[in-house]
Amino acid sequence: MHIHHLNQWKHDHVFLDAKASAANEKRVFYVVLLTFVMMLIEISAGIIFNSMALLADGWHMATHAGALGLTVFAYRYARNHAKDRKFTFGVGKVEVLGGYTNAILLGIVALFVAYESIDHMINPRAIAFNEAMLVAFVGLLVNVASVWLLGDNHHHGHSHGHSHDHSHDHHHHHHDTHDDHDDHHHSHDSHAAAHHSHDEHAHGKNHDRNLKGAYLHVLADALTSVLAIAALLMGKLFGWTWTDALMGLVGAALIGRWSFLLIKETGGILLDRVSKMDLADRIKAEIENRADNRVVDLHVWYVGANKYAAIVALVTHYPRAVEHYKEMLATIPELAHTTVEIHKCEGESCIEVSPQDRRA
């Protein structure tokens, strides 16, 4: 006799990779400290040496310190509210929101740099080349260190998504001919899916959009430092003062592009836009490869770093327990939460493809 407890079917909605999130938060915090120290040095030097170039760059660093501080806040907020029941599908999107906000701030920085560059092109100013190059070089060293701190995890992180749905089917069902045949066939599909899962694990990338926003901020700073050094060097050697403004416009264009792409990516996630159509196709294939199952409704959305939730509605002549269908989808590592709705087909026509579907 099987004894069932309600806890067998309960599960949490903590889709946050706490270990990876804590490690990323620590990295960003170190970058905030570096940026803050550099900001104080530049602002102090600008006041002491009466240099507007140093003062302007110091306040520019201050905006980045604030943006990176926002990244740290997003990590801590997500961790502290990971088990808050008010977040129905967990706090995975908090980090995405942090990335989205950072992308907007990055866009504002791009506009500011473009405005200043155009102003300098129209109204040329005397440039203290040696002083400016020294500060730009020190700033570059700080930015390279920051890129290294964030970039190591950003490019080499591994995904460890696992399904959080647990099957506890202790009922005994009869197995008709269709299911027996398809169970045998499915074993090969499961092997292929498992191989696909292994490949994803081996080559997976970190999908932390909050970290990506911080990474792009420090990368933008490093880029502007390189362009500034190049422009200042040409200005010093050849007297081309206009190169400073030109490089500023080039940097603004690149930063603006990064901002746009990150806004597009994170904005789509916040609006539940399906970013991985191949995942939806794999879910449908797993279900429809068995018996005469037909998926009639499918919703897939992001809940955490490379983790997704799905609602699947299917029609079949041979309905099985919900756990049976969840086991089919257990081979897809990105699925962290699955809800299955089953409809029994009483006639032949209900699973036929309609003319509209054929055209689609």
CATH of the domain at 255: 1.20.1510.10
Q: Are residues 225 and 297 in the same domain?
A: no
CA distance 252 to 264: 18
- Band of pLDDT at residue 198, cut at 50, 70 and 90: very low
- Domain count of the fold of the chain: 2
Which region among 6-10, 269-273, 349-353 has the lowest average model confidence (pLDDT)? 6-10
Of 197 and 145, the one with more pLDDT: 145
Question: pTM above the 0.85 mark?
Answer: no
Q: Are residues 60 and 136 in the same domain?
A: yes
pLDDT at 191: 41
- Band of pLDDT at residue 286, cut at 50, 70 and 90: very high
Q: Are residues 197 and 224 in the same domain?
A: no
Q: Are residues 95 and 244 in the same domain?
A: yes
Q: Are residues 127 and 244 in the same domain?
A: yes
Q: Mean pLDDT across the chain, nearest whole number?
A: 75
Tell me whether residue 152 is in a domain.
Answer: yes
pLDDT at 290: 80
Q: Are residues 189 and 46 in the same domain?
A: no
Q: Containing domain of residue 297, as a range?
A: 183-204+276-359
- Band of pLDDT at residue 12, cut at 50, 70 and 90: low
pLDDT at 114: 87
Indicate if the pLDDT at residue 204 is higher than 70: no
Average pLDDT of the segment spanning 188-193: 42
Which region among 133-142, 147-156, 280-289 has the lowest average model confidence (pLDDT)? 147-156
Q: Are residues 131 and 107 in the same domain?
A: yes
pLDDT at 186: 42
Q: What is the identity of the amino acid at 68?
A: L
Residue 345 Cα distances to 207, 231, 270, 342, angstroms: 40, 71, 36, 10
| Highest mean pLDDT: which range of 19-23, 95-99, 109-113, 322-326 | 322-326
Of 36 and 46, the one with more pLDDT: 36
Q: Are residues 90 and 239 in the same domain?
A: yes
Q: Which of 216, 215, 243 is nearest to 230 (CA)?
A: 243
Q: Show the 3-state SS of 332-345.
A: CCCEEEEEEEEEEC
CA distance 129 to 235: 8
Indicate if the pLDDT at residue 172 is higher than 70: no
Supply the angle between the helices 129-156 and 52-80 in degrees, to the nearest 10.
Answer: 20
Q: Are residues 224 and 335 in the same domain?
A: no
Q: Are residues 264 and 189 in the same domain?
A: no
pLDDT at 185: 41
Q: Are residues 215 and 195 in the same domain?
A: no
